[in-house]
Amino acid sequence: MTSSDLLLERKIGPVSVLDAAVAIGLALWAVGSAWNGYDVPVPFLLLATLPLAFRRVNPPAALVATAVGGVGLLLSGIHPLSNLAIATSAALALYTLFRPLPRAQAWGVTGTILAGLFILGMLLLWRGRFELALTAVPMIAFCVGGVALLADLARARGEVKEVRQESMEQMIAAQREQAAMAERARIAREMHDIVAHSISRIAVEAETAPYTIKDLGEPAREGFEQIATTARETLVEMRRLLGVLRTDGGAGGTSPQPGLARVPELLEEHRKAGGTVDLDVIGDAVPLPTAVDLSAYRILQEALTNARSHAPDANVRIELAYLQDTLAIRVSDDGPGPSPNAGGHGLIGMRERVVMLGGWLNTGTAPEGGFLIEAGLPLTQVEAAA
């Protein structure tokens, strides 16, 4: 935030400190530059400058007051534009009024002002003030048109900037949505492999049961055969429905997905890349549901990847807490903390996994500084959030 923005935020009643200072400065400048005796119309000079303090509070009223002061100077036989302070005050009042108006409305107000100046010129001619009518009024009209044009150009530039900003926000939103969809597809593929592996084991065990269990009756043999047949059919249907998610052309595998048992490999990979990482396990490790085990591994994997990318020299600390019904994960580092555009695809993937399991995820600045990722994965079967 700039110093001028701070002055605009500071108020003297409804008026900002900056606007009040500008108005008072222009008033002193106008009186000082026009003073040549007691015939100076000081009230008109002040009326043409001091209302500028209210230009952001009530732009039309500020412009009308400034215009009345200028007309008073004209009728007193003084050229308003001969005083640079008066000209500056009028230009600021006009610009403040024109800038936020829609283009058609702004030019409509401009036309009204020019029509008023034409009537004023006729009045001056009627009173015999030919020099002011033929020089001052056209010059003022020219300045009004120029200010209106400047405001129009600024308005057009602002509109272009808003369109670009909106397009950028839409593009970022689209990229995030694409990343979320890609991550959902990746999660679905991994869940496909987990379920396929389990169903394959069911089919194999059902097929081998008649050969490993002695004195198995015929009904039991038929039951195991039916289990194996159903498992194989289920596996085929599942591959048919979810195998299309694979973009690498593979038909899908049945091998187990990685879990927390492979965390030491992640830590070693991080250390080989030049980073430092410490792992603390709180509580007694318990067998985890396969989906929770995989999601926890992926969260730690992405957290370490994020640390290597954004804080390569930071010390990373991982805490795994086995609570009664939740696996709590906390990853923190002593790096520079979140960047202004934090919220990349990795964090989107973490959130998708946590939402799928009905857990929670917090990311941001750690109390001790650096970046912090906290997640809770329920160890019981829950409904995923919609």
Domain boundaries, the chain: 3-168, 173-245, 260-378
Q: Which two tokens stand for residue 207?
A: 């097929």
pLDDT for residue 125 is more than 80: yes
Question: 380, 384, 333, 341: which is closest to 360 by C-alpha?
Answer: 384
Residue 344's pLDDT band, with cuts at 50, 70 and 90, is low
Rounded to whole angstroms, the Cα distance separating 218 from 235 reads 26
pLDDT category of residue 241 using cuts at 50, 70 and 90:
low
Q: Which helix (H) or strand (E) holds 183?
A: helix 137-212
Q: Out of 2.40.30.10, 3.10.580.20, 3.30.565.10, 3.40.50.10860, which CATH number does the structure's domain 260-378 have?
A: 3.30.565.10
Strand partners, 318: 279, 331
Cβ atoms of 124 and 74 within 8 Å: the answer is: yes
E strand or H helix at 87: helix 84-98
Q: Which residue has the higher pLDDT, 273 or 338?
A: 273
Q: Is the pLDDT of residue 329 over 90?
A: yes
What type of residue sits at position 298? R
Q: Quote the tokens at residue 275.
A: 């980073």
**pTM score:** 0.47
Cβ 14 vs Cβ 45: under 8 Å: no
User: What is the average per-residue pLDDT within 351-360?
Assistant: 85
Indicate whether 210 pLDDT > 90. Answer: no
pLDDT tier at 385, thresholds 50, 70, 90: very low
Q: Which two tokens stand for residue 194?
A: 């987990």
256-315 tens-digit pLDDT: 578 898 899 989 988 888 888 999 999 888 888 888 888 899 899 888 888 888 878 888
Number of neighbouring beta carbons within 10 Å of residue 185: 15
DSSP-assigned letters across all residues of 140-174: HHHHHHHHHHHHHHHHHHHHHHHHHHHHHHHHHHH
Tokens coding 154: 């600024």
pLDDT digits (tens, 9 = 90+) for 90-112: 888 888 888 887 878 878 878 88
| Mean of pLDDT values over 343-368 | 80
Q: Where are the beta strands (DSSP E) in the chain?
A: 11-12, 15-16, 276-282, 315-322, 326-333, 360-365, 371-378
Task: Kindly report the average pLDDT of the chain as a whole number.
Answer: 77
